[in-house]
Structure 1
Amino acid sequence: MEDYFICPENHELKFSFYSTRKNGDFSSASKVYQCEMCQSCFLKHKCISKNTKGNKRIFRNNNLEYFRTVIRKKLSDKNTREIYAQRKIDVGPVFGFLKAILVTREQNCTGNPK
């Protein structure tokens, strides 16, 4: 089984290499797919921004996609939606009150509103 994506112009974006991206202390590995035909493609301006050098690349993290699918499935469940809707009612005002109180205290302590 081959590992590639197909672009709108029917060109293959084949697997090229693994890439590791770091965000603070967290790092994630992605598979990078790259097209070899972008320079001569008339749809290049729709696929790639003007500032991009080289060909179209797709970064794919299969672990992340799996967990996104699981969460979307859970969030689409009726019971889960009802729980989250109730959470907005229960928790939202509490943070609003805390923010109002803390801002008022800061203003009283410094004498200057922030």
Structure 2
Amino acid sequence: MGQVTLLTGPERRRRWRDDERLQILEEAFSPGACVTHVAQQHDVSTALIYTWRRKLCQPATEPGFAEALVVDEDGSQPREHRPAIVVELARGGRISIFAGSPPALATAVLKALR
């Protein structure tokens, strides 16, 4: 007769519901808790718990372009000489991007502000 190997334990590709993930994260990162002990209790790796936390803390959407409407305030300057985008910085600085600017330059400026 041949040898039979019996594998026990959880399915390796287990699917976790969002509420289960949140419960485990709350337990793992509550005051005085040990992530390793919570991981062993729920039979999940500590790396997966940290991955869930990182994904939860990330913004829901990636930054992108938004539709904007340029409105003439006083009509004193021709459109090509006025900035299409003005970014007011927290410390009083200002960045102006003109409509004639190359897209690569505008993209680089906006990425640098992240």
State the TM bucket, normalised to the shorter chain: under 0.3
Q: Which structure has the greater CA radius of gyration?
A: 2
TM-score w.r.t. the length of structure 2 is 0.20
Higher strand share: 1
TM-score w.r.t. the length of structure 1 is 0.20
The structure showing larger relative contact order (alpha-carbon pairs under 8 Å, at least 6 residues apart) is 1
Higher helix share: 1
